[in-house]
Structure 1
């Protein structure tokens, strides 16, 4: 009897290429259409919802997808450099042995209490991501996986601490300038209005998400074979155990490296919140972190350069995934079917009962986000339509912004076109299918909770408008 080979899920780049080819096929099927773009009172270029019209078809030639792809790489260049530099800096920190010693010390002192760290760390990442994108922390992901494995969990828990904590902070839109403030300006709402209800949503999603994650973490700690990553993590744990640094005590140099790391994180957060930094400035911080941490560890300039290049190499796969993911929206734009898709979906809202209009608007935004993963880009595309639509169907404009926040944010953690998700999965070598085994049920819970919160917003007539 011949052994039946297990079916392997294709490489992430292959999955993305299939999605791109499907998008190309749609440009040959869906009629091309367009809205006129105008500048609103704040100077933001938005869609005029009354101007949709069909235009001449512009199907995309399959032979041109890599030309469009290169344009996607160009647009994602700053993010790609951020990822390469963050990976480089964390490799230098890892080579110093400081994190391994710290993890070993923490593990010894927190036996039987490790589960407390999950809600604490997800809360920290959640708070940070109320103002930052989750992709800022792609370089942190391998470190969190090391910590997770050292505490007896699996690599999915390590990645989830960043992804799920960040998801709650980013997707509830508490303070986010690139999503909430852009959407509120387009909708004609005061900046940061509706903050108390969004903070309540943050708390609800934080509790629900941590109950799910902690339950999963304790389950795989008790029975490691139940983890989708069991076979892969067995190898990783052996590699982790082989490092003597985990049993090596902390010393002055190692503490200095750790302090440098936390100082850099503090600078990134301060720069994003107070100084309105973009990704360019954050990338530069990681370059300085590499140099200062390397010197603190006692490395020579040549050693710093060597470890910098090695760390950047480890992130090349994640960078390729992120660049290729941008190609999907590029194909839809080139085929002129982006506006047609948005126009069709928004027309469905009037077929639903009043209390379900908010949840349906949330779900429509999820569908839109499959094509437009940029938060500010989606706000500019849908809010000029959803804001006046909310007026006509009896939903407050603040509720429409909330639906946009939920729809734009939460599905980024299941979409293979999401730069934050695929970047972190690529950096931690977690296959997409393994992630979805863990994540599928939680996403369903998120949609249910988000729908209930949308109904709540309608009931209280979430204002001020």
Structure 2
């Protein structure tokens, strides 16, 4: 049985209005604040999985990704594609961006992309493109996948749980957003790349051309790892795991416990198939989980804030004020306000998972007042967070990739801002149209 269900918007509105009228006050003392993150881990929240369940899922999927990474299948597969396409670099751009987008939309591929810059930049420079083209292929490829997070465990899955819906709700809309934004992004990068290849002076890093050629072509190996049949099997199992997760949630009634069990079993199976051995399997799983320990703790801390807000009836006050403020807004205007609210919050809360746990318990119920489906709020959150993560200077992925590619941050902004405008218009149009078509939740 699922641990979550849709709330009755009218009933919730009545409850919060009643609480507001009674002016219930329950001040939270110092020790209440100290204990809130602890309570946030295991205290049940109505219609939402406990934070300990979500955190355990995050750690297990981190271990799963660690095992897949240790097998070398992802690195070898992308590197093999680069080698096979050498001499046809114009095709390399859409194919590699599709692979990176696949990683972004499924498991939030981000830090994992940093290893590919030293491989791709020499290939692109040798093909008479520039370092910025290579950076754009990787950063925008994975980034647009995260923007269109269809089943990203660290974005839509956690946000959906916090909103009281399944990530399968709204999946079609996110697939459409992903496809359209990916096509536009690929066309944007290919247009710039073709312009640079035809006239190198059009490059935004033309003043660094000689230095980059000397640095990357002379000092960086361009050989790719061997892509074996075993790597193919691992990638097939990797894809099947996510496919089974979608089936389980959509049809089988799965949620956090079942998904955690699935990824744990898949990690063990892939470790056996990849012949990692007991020691390396355990080590890679633990290392992968350790990399996401901070995310798991942030989820609990963010839930702790929700605990304080609920116990002190702050949430009721906010919901009452929100119900009043959205009363005059149309459904389309409301979802666009939510989108821009999440854009602003994403700058101040860089953790996608933390922002999901922090904002969804407030914004999702507000959607009930406006007659907007909660999954649309989740999609607005995912797209807004993904958009900001393409440019935020606090992101190690953005600044790290630009540093490896020797691309100044201000030139990256100069390059990417027209694309951001286009993607924003696409997302706003998609959210607005979906809101008008879906109407009031039932």
CA 1:448/1:271 → structure 2, altered by over 3 Å: closer, same or farther? same
Q: In the TM superposition, what are the counterparts of 1:431-442 in structure 2 within 5 Å? A: none
Is the CA contact 1:104–1:150 (under 8 Å) kept in the aligned structure 2? Answer: no
The whole-number CA distance in structure 1 between the counterparts of 2:207 and 2:376 is: 33
Question: 2:65 matched to which residue of 1?
Answer: 86
Give the Cα separation in 2 of the matches to 1:204 and 1:101.
26
Distance, in Å, in 2 between the alignment partners of 1:195 and 1:327 is: 26
Output the CA distance in 1 between the equivalents of 2:34 and 2:182: 43
Please, what is the CA RMSD of the aligned residues? 5.6
Partners in 2 of 1:203 and 1:100 — Cα distance? Answer: 20
Q: Distance in 2 between matches of 1:423 and 1:280?
A: 31
Partner of residue 309 from structure 1, selected from 283, 295, 300? 283
- Per-residue CA shift, 1:329-384, capped at 9, x if unaligned? 23422431455445444533345578634422443566688888576996665444
Is 1:448–2:425 an aligned residue pair?
yes
The gaps in structure 1 that reach 5 residues or longer are 1-38, 296-300, 391-396
1:106 to 78, 84, 95: 84
Determine whether 1:58 maps to 2:3: no
Assess if the C-alpha contact under 8 Å between 2:60 and 2:263 holds in 1. Answer: no
Task: Give unpaired runs (5+ residues) of structure 2.
Answer: 42-50, 125-132, 250-257
User: In the alignment, is residue 360 of structure 1 matched against residue 360 of structure 2?
Assistant: no
Structure 2 vs 1, CA of residues 293 and 427 (structure 1 numbering), >3 Å: closer, same or farther? farther
* Aligned residue runs from structure 1 range 59-78, under 5 A: 64=34, 68=38, 71=41, 75-78=54-57
Q: Distance in 2 between matches of 1:449 and 1:463?
A: 23
Structure 1 residues 137-158: Cα deviation after superposition (integer angstroms, max 9, x where no partner): 5686456656644643545642
| 1:42-62, Cα deviation, whole Å (9 max, x unpaired) | 586988122223532326679
Indicate if the aligned counterparts of 2:165 and 2:375 stay in contact, CA closer than 8 A: no
Counterpart-to-counterpart distance in 2, 1:324 and 1:430: 29
Match of 2:145 in 1: 165
Q: 2: distance between equivalents of 1:320 and 1:411?
A: 24
- Cα distance, 1:220 vs structure 2: 9.1
Give the Cα separation in 1 of the matches to 2:8 and 2:330: 32
Residues 122 and 165, structure 1, Cα contact 8 Å, conserved in 2: yes
Query: Aligned equivalents of 1:367 and 1:58: distance in 2?
Result: 28
The alpha-carbon deviation at position 256 of structure 1 amounts to 1.8
Counterpart in the other structure of 1:393: none
The aligned residue for residue 289 of structure 1 is: 270
In structure 2, what is the Cα distance between the partners aligned to 1:89 and 1:357? 41
CA drift at 1:163: 3.4
Q: What CA deviation, in whole Å up to 9, does each residue of 1:117-138 have, x standing for no partner?
A: 1454366558xx4xx5x34x56
Alignment of 1:155-234 (within 5 A): 157-170=137-150, 201-212=177-188, 214=190, 223=203, 225=205
Asked if structure 2 preserves the Cα contact closer than 8 Å seen for 1:373 and 1:408, the reply is no
After TM superposition, give the deviation of residue 414 of structure 1 in Å.
Answer: 5.8
After TM superposition, the score normalised by the length of structure 2 is 0.61
2:95 is matched with which residue?
117
Separation (CA, whole Å) in 1 of partners of 2:134 and 2:39 = 34
2:384 aligns with one of 400, 411, 428: 411
Q: CA deviation at 1:212?
A: 4.5
1:346, 1:227 → 2: CA distance?
Answer: 55
Summarize deviations over 1:409-453 as a string: whole Å, max 9, x none: 11232678xxxx97977998989x969958777555444333334
On the 8 A contact 1:145/1:428 being kept in 2, the answer is yes
* Equivalent of residue 266 in structure 1, options 224, 239, 242: 239
What is the total number of aligned residue pairs between the two structures? 383
Alpha-carbon spacing, 1:444–1:151, altered in 2? closer, same or farther (3 Å) = same
Structure 1 residue 102: Cα displacement: 2.0
For 2:246 and 2:72, how far apart are their aligned partners in 1?
25
Q: Classify 1:227/1:360 alpha carbon distance in 2 versus 1 (closer, same or farther; 3 Å).
A: farther
Decide whether the 8 Å contact of 1:362 with 1:403 is kept in 2.
Answer: no
Q: 1:286 to 1:114 in 2, by over 3 A?
A: same
Contact 2:135/2:402 (8 A) holds in 1: no
C-alpha displacement of 1:326: 2.0
Distance 1:454 1:321, change over 3 A: same
Q: Distance in 1 between matches of 2:214 and 2:308?
A: 46
| Residues 261/185 of structure 1: CA separation in 2 closer, same or farther (3 Å cut) | closer
- Please report the TM-score for the alignment, with normalisation by the length of structure 1: 0.59
